[in-house]
Structures are given as C-alpha cells and as structure tokens.
Structure 1
Amino acid sequence: MSVNGEAVRVGTEADQTDEPGWEVDPDDDWALAVVATVGRQLRLRREAAGMRVGEFAAAVGYGEDLVHKIETGKRIPRPEYLDTADEVLGAGGLVAAMKEDVKKVRYPKKVRDLAQLEARAVEIGLYVCHSISGLLQTAEHARAAFESRQPAYSQEEVERMVAARVARQAIFEKEPAPTLSFVLEEAPLRRPLGGTMVWRGQLERLLEVGEMRNVTLQVMPTRCEVHPGLDGKIALLKFEDGSAVGRAEGAFNGRPTSEPRQLRLLELRYGTIRAQALPPRESLAFIEDLSGET
C-alpha cells in the first residue's frame, strides 16, 4: 500500500506462503480457470502501469516469488492482497472486485455446489445422526471435527474445509430468510469435541441460532428407542419454483433425488423424526442445561 508516496508493508511472503488453504486444487477446473484469469489480469495491469515484479512486490508488501505465483495462477491471492494491488495499480476497485470469485475458489467443488443449492432454497430441513449439522457448527468445532478424521487431512485441507463450512452459514443472513429446521441427536451434543471451551461455544451458538424466527431447532433424545433416521443424515431442500431435492444416507444409494415419489418418502421420514423429537422450546432448554454443565 502506498501512503504519501512511500510503500508500506501489509504482509510478507511467508504470511501467505506458509498459511494453509491458499493452494489451487489441481482437480478443480473452475478454480484453476478463475485463479489463472485473476493472475493474468494482475500481470497485465502491473505491466500497463510500467511496474516490474520487484517494484510491485515492494509496493504491495509481499515477496517477488509470491507475486509470480499469483500472476501465473499457482497461488490464490488473499483478499487484502487484491485490495492493496487495486490501490497500487490505481484500478479503481476493479481488482478488488475479484475478491468474491477468488473467495469461492478456496472451497472444494462439492461444497460450492451444496452452498449454491442452499442459497437458492426457501426451505431447508436437516436431520444429522452422528454429528452437529455443518450449518450450525462454529469454526472451532468444525476444525476439531476435521482434525479428528483418519486418515488425517493435511492442515491445508482442514483450513480449506473449515472456511467452506463457515461460509455456508451466510444463509442465516439471507434476505428474505429461508425457513430452516434442524433435528440434532442428543449424543453429539454431549460430546465435548475440541475441549470444554469449544464445546461451550458450540452450545451457545446453537442457542443463538435456535432463537432466530425462521429457525426451528429440535433435539432427538437418546431415550427415543427407534426412529426413521437411524441410518444417518436426511436433507430436504425446497425452492421457490416448487421444485425440491432430497438426500438420505441409506436410501437411493445415498444420492440426491428430485423424483416425487422418493421425495415424499423422505418427507415422511423427516416429518416422523420431527414428531418424535423434543419440541423446539424444550430442545433449547435442554441445550441450555447442557451449557450449564460445561
């Protein structure tokens, strides 16, 4: 960033080179194309401004090697890198505007596809058997969950997936707000994943979301001997045009379905699960009691 004609360092090459989650997924064609396009635009604007790589690197406060990697589409630029580059190159906001596409590149393709469906939905119903729904997880809880997987993910993969999971939660800020319902099992709520502080933060987040007017949150108590969700997760998404998509572990080979008969079956299962779970007010009181135990 340039202030009064003097370059001010806003970061170092190590800041981004060592930070996980900024490599481009070599199997994600869309991501590769976006990063290559952004890098090419940055290079063309730098050259049009008459700046060599070294001059530009000094002006934005990053190393020459990182600038080269970004311009050749081998590294995802951070948002602040684009903001600073926009100012240094006098781009009038055109470079900074690329942040939205670049932000999406960090997320795995299957997560992007899921987020697009959720963003379109006017009604979402989710039952999760063995964990807390990703839409409800705090970043700390999500990180602890991903770090517990075997075989272990790399730290870069963990951070990429945490960022993607948290980004999906923008759905809670959408206007008009979609109707959301969640049914969570009691057992995962009692598991102090990530330690006491992370557990407490997760329970507090559930209480916060559960108080939203467009959200219904219910707890399935372990004393309930049997219900239609014991095979695993059930998800139902309905859209403004009347179409819908559903998915259930243990049904239809676990694949998403839009077939009316199969959707009716999933709606029946999900409706039965909701009927057997604690009512919303009792569910929040149950979670509040758990929070007090932390």
Structure 2
Amino acid sequence: MKRDVAEVRYPKKVRDLKRLEAEAVELCAYNNSVLHGLLQTEEYARAIFNVRRPAFTEGEVEQQVTARLARQEILDPGASRRVFSFVQCESTLRRPIGGRIVMRRQLERVLEVGRLRNVDLQVLPLNREENSGTDGSFRLLKLTDGATVAFSEAPLSSRVMTNPKETTVLDIRYGVIRAQALSPRESLAFIEKVLGETET
C-alpha cells in the first residue's frame, strides 16, 4: 500500500530520528531483540506494535507503522551515497514475530536489503562465545560534518548521545561486534539457510 509521506504526522522521537538518519552519510546498527526498523516489512512492524503493552490504539499502530516504512526510503542506493552497516543477532532471525508466514516474508526482505550495494549486513550467531553487544541494541549515525550521533533504546527511555566520549565507546564496541559476526557474504548464506528452514 503506497503512503503519502508528506501527509504523515510523526511522533517527535521518530521525527528526530528520521531527520538524523537523513543527515547521516553512514548508519551503523546492532540489534539483538528485533530486526532493525529499516529492514522491517509492514506485517512484521505491525506485529511488533500490536503486542506493545500498554497497548497502542489502532490509530497509534497505524501511525507508527507508517512512520517506520517512510524512513526506509533512505535505503535507496540511487538516492544518495549513504552507506549502511547492520549487525543482527541470530535470535532476531529466528524469533517468529507475526507467525511463520510473516517471518518468511521478513527474511526475504532482509536478504533483499542485504544485497543492496550500499549495505553490509552481518549476522552474529548464537553459538559465538564472545558477544560484545549484550548490553543491548544501538545505532551510530555519522554525519556530513564528521560528528557521530549515537542512539540507544531501552524500556520507557530512548537516548541520543552526541558527547564524543560516549559515541567513541559505542563506535569501538560496534567495530568489535562486526569482527565477532559472520562476514556479509557468510551472513547472506546463513539467512538463506534460516529462510529454508521456514518451509518445513
């Protein structure tokens, strides 16, 4: 379903994130609970918002889903020179949010995005003895002026960090997480294997 982005009213937190993502030349993200919002299908995103407690109203669910999908326009490799790096914990590929069919379509979407020429997508397997991302999901936005903005989410709170002391720590952590993960090529093969398992 095509949405008129110009008519979308975003919640303030989403507006701020959308603006920062639009200004970034590089976006790096580690996720260990759900797939990153830029990778999500409409069905997957709706399933996430529908199970929120306290519950969203139907209107709020629609608003959140619309805002999330609108942000995905920045992935287009023809629109800018922006580059993306995603590291997903294996658990996010196996947690059947929305059910088997929704998850199958979601994995197909992850593969589609992972094959874009401006995207590096990596999987951190559960059998790795070392995982430097156990503190939770976060993202790094590297802006045109050389600054780095970090964004982390936790229950009841989201935090934007601009202090170089904090962003440098997360930048180093992200580099270690990438080293612990499968390579992009290995990761696509791994996701294809998980997708194949949804057929049984």
Normalization by structure 1: what TM-score?
0.62
Comparing both structures, which one devotes a greater share of its residues to helix? 1
Residues 183 and 277, structure 1, Cα contact 8 Å, conserved in 2: yes
Structure 1 Cα separation of the partners of residues 119 and 75 of structure 2: 9
Structure 2 Cα separation of the partners of residues 209 and 116 of structure 1: 21
* 1:143-198 C-alpha deviation (Å, 9 max, x unpaired): 01111112221111111100010000011126223110000011121122112211
Q: How much does 1:293 deviate?
A: 1.3
Instruction: Indicate the residue corresponding to 2:99 in structure 1.
Output: 195
Among 6, 19, 35, the alignment partner of 1:116 is 19
Q: How much does 1:142 deviate?
A: 0.3
Confirm or deny that 1:283 pairs with 2:187.
Answer: yes
Residues 246 and 263, structure 1, Cα contact 8 Å, conserved in 2: yes
Residues 140 and 194, structure 1, Cα contact 8 Å, conserved in 2: yes
* 1:30-54 C-alpha deviation (Å, 9 max, x unpaired): xxxxxxxxxxxxxxxxxxxxxxxxx
CA-based RMSD of the aligned residues comes to 1.8
SS at match of 1:131: coil
Instruction: Indicate the residue corresponding to 1:241 in structure 2.
Output: 145
SS at match of 2:8: helix
List aligned pairs for 1:38-49, cutoff 5 A. Answer: none
Q: How much does 1:249 deviate?
A: 5.3
SS at match of 1:256: strand
Confirm or deny that 1:185 pairs with 2:89.
Answer: yes
Instruction: Indicate the residue corresponding to 1:231 in structure 2.
Output: 135
* 1:43-92 C-alpha deviation (Å, 9 max, x unpaired): xxxxxxxxxxxxxxxxxxxxxxxxxxxxxxxxxxx96xxxxxxxxxxxxx
SS at match of 1:150: coil
Residues 248 and 266, structure 1, Cα contact 8 Å, conserved in 2: no
Q: How much does 1:248 deviate?
A: 3.8
**Corresponding letter in the other structure for 2:68:** R
Comparing both structures, which one devotes a greater share of its residues to strand? 2
Instruction: Indicate the residue corresponding to 2:35 in structure 1.
Output: 132
Q: How much does 1:260 deviate?
A: 1.8
Alpha carbons of structure 1 residues 112 and 249: separation in structure 2 relative to 1, 3 Å: closer
SS at match of 2:29: strand
Residues 231 and 249, structure 1, Cα contact 8 Å, conserved in 2: no
SS at match of 1:225: coil
Q: How much does 1:120 deviate?
A: 0.8
Among 68, 73, 86, the alignment partner of 1:170 is 73
Aligned length: 193
**Corresponding letter in the other structure for 2:62:** E
Considering Cα pairs closer than 8 Å and 6+ residues apart, tell me whether 1 or 2 has the greater RCO: 2
List aligned pairs for 1:154-169, cutoff 5 A. Answer: 154-169=57-72
Instruction: Indicate the residue corresponding to 2:119 in structure 1.
Output: 215
Q: How much does 1:285 deviate?
A: 0.4
Residues 234 and 248, structure 1, Cα contact 8 Å, conserved in 2: yes
Residues 144 and 193, structure 1, Cα contact 8 Å, conserved in 2: yes
**Corresponding letter in the other structure for 1:291:** L
Identical positions, percent: 52
Confirm or deny that 1:151 pairs with 2:54.
Answer: yes
**Corresponding letter in the other structure for 1:136:** L
Give the 4+ runs in structure 1 shifted more than 3 A.
none
**Corresponding letter in the other structure for 2:127:** R
